[in-house]
A and B are shown apart, each in its own frame.
Chain A
Amino acid sequence: MNNESAFSHLHPLTLMLWFSFILCATVLTTNPAIALLSLFAASLHRALTVGVKPRQVALMAVFMLAVTLLNPLFSHHGVTVLFFLGGLPITREALLFGAFMSVLCAAAVLWCSSLSLCMTSDKVIYLFGRPFPKLAVLLSLTLRLIPLFLSEYKRMMEVRKACGLYDSSSLFGRARSSLTVFSALVTMILEDSVDTADSMRSRGVELKGRTAYSEYRFRRGDLLTAAVTAAALVFVVLSGAGGYLGFSFYPSVTELPLNSAAVASYIFFGAAALVPSITEVSLWRRLNLTACASDIPTAKNTL
């Protein structure tokens, strides 16, 4: 539970609204300012929650560089030719578009990893379970089966190894061993599901009027986040629809739109994108303050 960020404590509905807005806005606007803001905010949030891991940073850099360099090799649109490679023109526009795409992809990847950390299975069940309580039961059952399956698989494999029934000499042997265990496991789980069904029936799964219990509450933080997100959504959608955010790379790179609608969109988008990081930092500050406050009496006691 160490990876759990302060942001993930928000209500699942707030999280869903926020993540869908940020991801859609990042991917759909084709505006470099939005993409850069998004990447910055995503990196900041990742650094604050998971921390900076040199290997991951390096991997991300290589990925971005690859995307940047690959685009001009395949796309030859654009009017500014930098040089020819094997008779094909390499253009400035294609290079810049590659860079833009790499920023976009990196931001999307980072946000998706945050999403998987924040949107735990519990929250997914809640989102689907509220309108369809029976679906919630099904999801919960499925999610339980996965770790069960894996641990049982490991145990059975170990038993086979201990008895010398595991053929590790060739790839084929290993595959066959795995398949044998896998098929036995499926039977075993089907066998057990009779008991599971009994247990569910005895606790009334067939009764009408099932409710879906959840531990979530809509708090002030949720309201605030939702408000900022909604405002950003309105600005970005309106400016986007009005063409105020328009930016294109081909045939030549246009200027970054800096009209008032666009600037307002950047500001609101930036504010929304920074919400997770702000939540994180404000939690730290509050925790530090209480830690200091509790230090005072102990200091007195020691005197």
Chain B
Amino acid sequence: MCFRYPDSEKYALDNVTFTVNEGELVLLCGRSGSGKTTLLRLLKRRLAPFGELSGSILIGGKKAEELTERTAVSEVGCVAQNVEAQLVAETVWRELAFGLESLGSSRSEIRRKTAEISLYYGIEDLYRRRISSLSGGEKQLVNLAAATVCEPSLLLLDEPTSQLDPIASKSLISQVMRLNRELGVTVVICEHRSDEIFPYVDRVLCLENGRLIADAPPKEAAGKSCFFIGAMPAAARVFHTLGGSGVCPITTAQCRSFLSDNYVFSNLPAATVNKNSPAKPAIKLDDVFFRYSKDSPDVLSGLSLSVYKGEVLSILGGNGAGKSTLLKVISGVYKPYSGKLLLSGKNATKRGDIRTALLPQSPRELFVTPTVRDDLIEAAKAAGAFPSGGDVTDEIEAVSKKLGIAHLLDRHPYDLSGGEQQKAAIAKLLLLKPDVMLLDEPTKGMDLEAKQTSAKLVNKLKTIGVTVVIVTHDAQTAALCSDRCALLFDGAIACTDTPGQFFSGLSYFTTPEAHIARGLIPGAVTTEAIAASCRKK
């Protein structure tokens, strides 16, 4: 099968041939722009993009275009990545009934099926809730339930977890696997973070530039070195980084035995910890208490924390631990009701000499104009009140070159890809000339490669002299780019340490690499660190 978009010379999908057997769980991976989404959309009649299609798509032995409208709707279910925009109704029960209403089902049938699906996913208590009161994970689960309520035999998932936190995405993935295992639903899933699902899929398909470069069971696929390394689970990454031979491990246990069978380990060089750090705290929070309203519980209770000038501090914490709230307290959006917030030694009420800038979870919330350039001008002008020499346009050119977004300046900010949007947002924030940059979940939904790019970006900020505070769920992000890590729990900081010490001290809330290295190489929390300390037997 080949496919080409109307205005494009290049084929978005080039000679792609594969079969998915009934009841299989298939992982579709590839870099962004490799044609994954196009492929998935071609499988769903109503979503198929316009363009020139040659070859054929057979679904259940029938040509896709010969299916009746009705079967095309009921037989193939879809869940996409934009959690919020997929929801069409105001309440959960209405959302669940939507597909069935379209099919013209009778009242009793709809009642039976929505009841059944709620029980299956364990969302009975959400049934009567308003969609707007649900969390992101709950919303995506409702999307999955709404897509499966018509009992499809094929389910297409396009990066369903990319906007979810790790815990919510794990539970969503486990529900998808359950659908496949228990009900025999055929599943084609496109997923960036494959650690979770990789070992359990039946087959892995890998696209690169519209060509299918791998179609094999996970073990074989992971063994291929040409294979896109960002999509592999940590175990396979370690294997490839070490240049291992033989059967590629894909689970933590397999990788541990692979390492202990073939390698001896040397201790990592102790991280240079500057105990009496000469830098002054840029931000100091002293016994801070905050709550949203009079009757609500404390979100921050007795939190004390120092952020030193020029460092990168990652604050980790679970869902609803108050991470985003903490950032908003630091940036002055919320005022603590007790305790002190000192910015470079001074009381936070006078925020003259320290400027903070906040990168929100979804960077597009920062853009308010039709082009990236206009947004950058807005920021540069806002900072203009503070002493800064040179012309606005020069400054914009300089910053956008530094971040590699010079070619995007005239695009609409919403048309950029996730990574580009993040870069543009950081450019905007840099023009505000902040001393402290606060990043809220900068790597949400990213694969390892994208995380590494973001880590590089953070390091760039550090070299410019910007102090960076990151809050994140993701241990990998924190391990990649921070000087210090802190754990936020129960409204206060539970511990603070260097990444190596921090993650090897934690047993559960840590990187997959740290799980692999546990007990073998103390302090190794990244693939690079593991590779550095392994010597072949």
Seen from chain A, the residues whose Cβ lies within 8 Å of a Cβ on chain B are 121-122, 125, 133, 137, 140-141, 143-144, 147-148, 151-152, 155-156, 158-159, 161-165, 180-181, 183-184, 187-188, 191-196, 198-215
Contact = CB atoms under 8 A, between A and B. Distances in A.
Nearest to A121: B90
A122 B73 contact: no
Contacts of A206: 46, 69
Given A162-B332, A200-B88, A207 B358 contact: no
7 contacts: A147-B132, A163-B356, A163-B434, A184-B367, A207-B73, A210-B101, A211-B104
A141 B414 CA distance: 22
Nearest to B428: A163
A194 to B, nearest CB: 8
Interface string B330-373: 01110000000000000000000001111010001111111000
Interface in B10-37: none
Nearest to B367: A184
Given A163-B429, A204-B69, A204-B99, 11 more contacts: A158-B328, A164-B382, A192-B84, A196-B85, A196-B86, A199-B85, A199-B88, A201-B46, A207-B103, A211-B101, A213-B94
B358 A144 contact: no
A148 B85 CA distance: 10
B369 A162 contact: no
A186 B88 CA distance: 17
Contact of A137 (B88, B331, B355, B364): B88
Nearest to B414: A191
Of the listed residues B88, B101, B146, the one surrounded by the most CB atoms of chain A closer than 10 A to its CB is B101
B132 A144 contact: yes
B414 A211 contact: no
Of all A-B residue pairs in the complex, the 6 with the closest CB atoms, nearest first, are A204-B102, A204-B73, A195-B85, A162-B331, A162-B358, A147-B132
A165 B106 contact: no
Contacts of B101: 133, 210-213
Contacts of B382: 164-165
Of the listed residues A156, A158, A208, A213, the one surrounded by the most CB atoms of chain B closer than 10 A to its CB is A213
Nearest to B68: A207
B368 A213 contact: no
A208 B102 CA distance: 8
Contacts of A201: 46-47
Nearest to B361: A155
B85 A193 contact: yes
Contacts of A207: 69-70, 73, 102-104
A292 to B, nearest CB: 28
Contacts of B94: 122, 125, 140, 213
A239 B197 CA distance: 75
A213 B108 CA distance: 9
Contacts, number: 164
B518 to A, nearest CB: 38
A187 B414 contact: yes
A209 B106 CA distance: 11
A136 B480 CA distance: 50
B131 interface: yes
Contacts of A181: 368
Contacts of A191: 414
A202 B146 CA distance: 11
A163 B357 contact: yes
Nearest to A157: B333
Contact of A192 (B82, B132, B368): B82
A158 B333 contact: yes
A159 B99 contact: no
Contacts of A200: 88, 98
B213 interface: no
A122 B104 CA distance: 20
A149 to B, nearest CB: 10
A207 B72 CA distance: 11
B333 A148 contact: no
A183 B368 CA distance: 8
Given A198-B47, A210-B102, A213-B101, A164 B432 contact: yes
A144 B89 contact: yes
B90 A156 contact: no
Contacts of A183: 368
B102 A141 contact: no
B84 A159 contact: no
A152 B327 CA distance: 18
A174 to B, nearest CB: 15
B47 A202 contact: yes
Nearest to B98: A203
B360 A199 contact: no
A285 to B, nearest CB: 26
A208 to B, nearest CB: 8
Contacts of B98: 200, 203, 205
Interface in B486-526: none
Nearest to A215: B93
A140 to B, nearest CB: 5
B91 interface: yes
A180 B73 contact: no
Contacts of B150: 203
Contact of A165 (B76, B97, B378): B378
Contacts of A209: 104
B231 to A, nearest CB: 24
Nearest to A1: B128
Contacts of B106: 211
Contacts of B299: none
Contacts of A196: 85-88
Of the listed residues A141, A163, A165, the one surrounded by the most CB atoms of chain B closer than 10 A to its CB is A163
B80 A155 contact: no
Nearest to B156: A202
A274 to B, nearest CB: 29
Interface in B268-306: none
Given A164-B432, A211-B106, A202 B78 contact: yes
Nearest to B149: A203
A155 B90 contact: no
A195 B143 CA distance: 13
Given A137-B88, A203-B73, A188 B104 contact: no
A159 B360 contact: yes
A28 B355 CA distance: 64
B149 to A, nearest CB: 9
A200 B70 CA distance: 14
Nearest to A151: B132
